[in-house]
Amino acid sequence: MDKTIYEVPCIRPRKAGSAIPSPTVPPDPVMVSVPGSKSITNRALLLAALANGVSVLHGVLFSDDSRHFLACLQSLGFEVCINETDQTVSVTGLGGQIPLEEASVYVGSAGTAARFLSACLGTAKGTYHMDASPQMRRRPMAPLLDSLRGLGCEITFADREGFFPFTLTGHGFCSSELTVDIGSSSQFLSALLISAGLAQQDITIHITGTHGMSYIKMTEAMMQQFGVTVRHPSDACFVLSGEQTYRARTYEIEPDVSAACYFYAMGALLGVPLVVRGVSFSSLQGDIAFLRLLEAMGCSLLEEEHGILLLPPADGVLHGIDADMSACSDQAITLAAVAVFADSPTTIRNIGHIRYQESDRMAAITTELKKMGIQCAETQTDLTIYPGSPCACTVETYDDHRMAMGFSLIGLCACGIRISDPMCCRKTFENYFEVLEETISRLNI
């Protein structure tokens, strides 16, 4: 594959609102396998490092983000054994202690590593020099770092206040109460919750903003799986009792629902039944809500032994919807791609925070759709896509893995769509385009 440009194979050209007739004899569902969850992998790596003893993680995602997280743990002195072939990692935790009291830590573009490790090291006892990729240097950190200062951490910035690179000097938990604004990232709260699980005294965390609460639920559920419980006196208040401990364990990581969503969307667009192996409605991952949006557009969903089965609309028509995507905003790009071929406009609401992710995703979506001749309207928090017939173009991906994967879906149904810098997918799904082509080769259409 050309590493600079990828031309998407146009499998089933279709016009907006057009019907894909169902075959007389329904084809067997296409079975797809995706890597382990990035969100769960990186949380499990940190929880294992903070536990007491050896944890063995199975189904680990190996991508740029997770490899950076693993390298960070090693740079801090943790004993980590990696087997990529078996998708297994073992981590020897020291009961909340950081092996090295001074270290340089490079998080790359991994937001989870950037936020989770900053909170953990900012509440430890030691001095840590933190740096990141140019992309991560542009992403917000100030709300988390302000909270760490309130806990007694000293922070010195090498360049811009509130951004990488910086040096943390932690002194433990010097306060038992703090407030954090999660309006631009739920990772700030997840980071503080995981770190607060190590405190000797009770810790109370107050929040402003409500972004990404499905990821907070994931964090709390995984903390409990490793032995630490969070209480909720109110929706905006989180309390952790002191002297809890994380316990080492064997842990199975779920398939990445975010990755699965591209293939479910593919099934909806191409009119083929499709199953992603191991995906369940009981998933810890908030992006499972995206499947309900495909259901609202006319698809049907059945949970079966091997995973959730998506059946495309019986009449072959995808319907425009009005969707609150605050719980699954990583799939806003995916829904925008599907919406291009619906029979009426689709409005995506409450996604203003995606302006501050790997790219300004609101601007990226509108810019690239308009380049194709697709009309869309953008407000501070909402986006409306008007169906149309995409013209051939090269999609800029802005070093954003989700732009590359999401906009590739348009090319399956519109000729001449090319993806610039397809290998930016290495961040979370390094062989996405290989899996896409292998899945296409098994379609009976």
Query: Which residues participate in catalysis according to the annotation?
Result: 330
**Under 8 Å between Cβ of 339 and 290:** no
Q: How far apart are CA 215 and CA 42, in angstroms?
A: 13
Residue-wise over 10-40: b if at least 16 C-beta within 10 A, else e? bbeebebeeebeeeeeeeebbebbbbbbbbb
Residue-wise over 201-210: b if at least 16 C-beta within 10 A, else e? eebbbebebe
Show the tokens assigned to 38.
């990035």
**Under 8 Å between Cβ of 336 and 367:** no
Q: How far apart are CA 303 and CA 280, in angstroms?
A: 7
Which residue from 122, 173, 180 is spatially nearest to 147, judged by alpha carbons?
A: 180
User: Based on C-alpha coordinates, what's the Rg of the chain?
Assistant: 22
